[in-house]
Amino acid sequence: MINLYWKNATEKVVGPEHGLTSEDLAGVAPSVEAAHAALMDQVRHGQPGYTALPDHPSYPSQVKQLAARFRENTTDLVVLGIGGSALGAIAIQNALHPATYNLISDKKRGGPRLFVLDNVDPALIADTFKCLRRRLETTLFNVISKSGETAETAAQFMIVREMLRERLGDKFASRIVATTDAEKGTLHEIARQDGYATLPVPGDVGGRFSVLSPVGLFPAAMTGVDIDAMLAGAVAMKQRLANPKWRENPACVLAAVKVLMFNRKGKPLHVMMPYSNRLYMLADWYRQIWAESLGKRLSVDGQREVFTGPTPIKALGTTDQHSQVQLYREGPNDKLVVFLEVDKHPADVRIPDSFADVDGMAYLAKSKLSKLLAAEKSATEYALAVSKRPSVTLRFNGITPQSIGEFFYLYEFVTSLAGEMLGINTYDQPAVELGKQATFALMGRKGYEEQAKEMKPILREDKNYLA
């Protein structure tokens, strides 16, 4: 189970200027209660779409059936996707498998190696395909795109399709799974014509909220993750978050803390700092869902410019104690830190009693690394508090499929609540579209000629500004 501890974000610890006061909490209560009531009313009608995923009646069985079909004849799984089509798979893999997963032998690993190509960096693509060239007949490519027209994923897919056709001939389609719109779209049509196995991208779920759909579940199931347990964790969290008593509801409290810190306490930067390498990629997933959902120019009715949204940042304990905490303690007091803490790690190591006569090292002897890591987290928490820097902690009892499912649903719900409280549309991303259109124009896509002309004055290089 995940619990939220938030005392260090209050005036009791960091003072009334930077911490939440009883007046702040009383003032935010109507807003968070109204946001929760509005969201729960939507949930009763099956919206937002992500809220129906933990207990979806058919997605898990579809995923497991397809995974069972491919696991025995697949040594390598390559996910082609970007943003929400990739970050969830990466976070699950990083959390629930050892860091050395891809280095374990095929016989002992228990599932295919996983490569997630979430960029079009040519060296990344070339290096990965070079690594897989001798195993192409047993490599499965999972292309994930609702429409199929996202430039990065489309380019990757075109390369893969041709590579497979050259090697496998008419059998190339047997090594592609398309996760896409179930009824329409470019990739849907290509999959139907070529004969790929397919999985659905829910039509009412945006990419950044799709991790508990086949988008995230299929790569997880292929590598042996217990997706039923992960979904059960999400269901348990969904039930907890139905509680209307907001001070007992971790999503309501976390949303209230975050919005108050942003609106009232001058904290526009929200850092997620896991004290576990296994949880580090959860911070990457968080950055997208938080930034793309809450960074908005217009109010929800489209009538006012609000330019709102806390900026998400990721850090890693203890690594970033030695790079970022200096800034966090003595730089501008403009940050809220969200620690991720683990009670029981998947593995532990004891420090030997090697230097009993060396004062600077003897204190570490016979301790476990888990104890040292916990002490480092508490020490950072204390140091921030002394400097009047607020923080909260999400405590994981362990890193399990259940707790990862809990985390995903919790933060999706917190994001929705924060959007309600900020008065914006949480689910659109209009600012992303211009970049997509500009890419189409620069790559010569038909219909974007005027866009290309508009771009020329800005993109034309002026050597007067070349240093």
Q: Catalytic site residues?
A: 292, 322, 436
- Using DSSP's 3-state secondary structure scheme, residue 32 falls into helix
Question: What is the H or E stretch that residue 141 is in?
Answer: strand 139-144
Q: Rounded to whole angstroms, how far apart are CA atoms 409 and 412?
A: 5
As given in the structure block, the two tokens for residue 8 are 């260090």
As given in the structure block, the two tokens for residue 39 are 């969201």
Q: Rounded to whole angstroms, how far apart are CA atoms 273 and 421?
A: 24
Task: Give the strands of the sheet with 269-274, arranged side by side.
Answer: 2-5, 391-398, 335-344, 269-274, 311-314
Task: Tell whether omega for the bond before 180 is within 30 degrees of 0, i.e. cis.
Answer: no
The rounded radius of gyration (Å) of the Cα atoms in the chain is 24
Cα angle 198, 202, 203 (rounded to 5 degrees) comes to 115
Q: How many CB atoms lie within 10 A of CB 356?
A: 9
Q: Rounded to whole angstroms, how far apart are CA atoms 111 and 68?
A: 11
- Using DSSP's 3-state secondary structure scheme, residue 80 falls into strand
| Crossing angle for the helix pair 401-422 and 250-263, to the nearest 10 degrees | 50
Contact 25, 257 (CB under 8 A): no
Q: Rounded to whole angstroms, how far apart are CA atoms 77 and 72?
A: 12
Quick one: DSSP state of residue 328?
H
As given in the structure block, the two tokens for residue 186 are 């470019």
Look up residue 254 and give its amino acid: L
b/e map of 215-245 (b: 16 or more CB within 10 Å)? bbbbbbbbbbbebebbbbbbbbbbebbeeee
Give first-to-last CA distance, the chain, whole Å: 54
Per DSSP, helices labelled H in 169-274 are 186-194, 214-222, 227-240, 250-263
As given in the structure block, the two tokens for residue 34 are 């109204």
For the chain, the helix, strand and coil percentages under 3-state DSSP, each to the nearest 5: 55, 15, 30
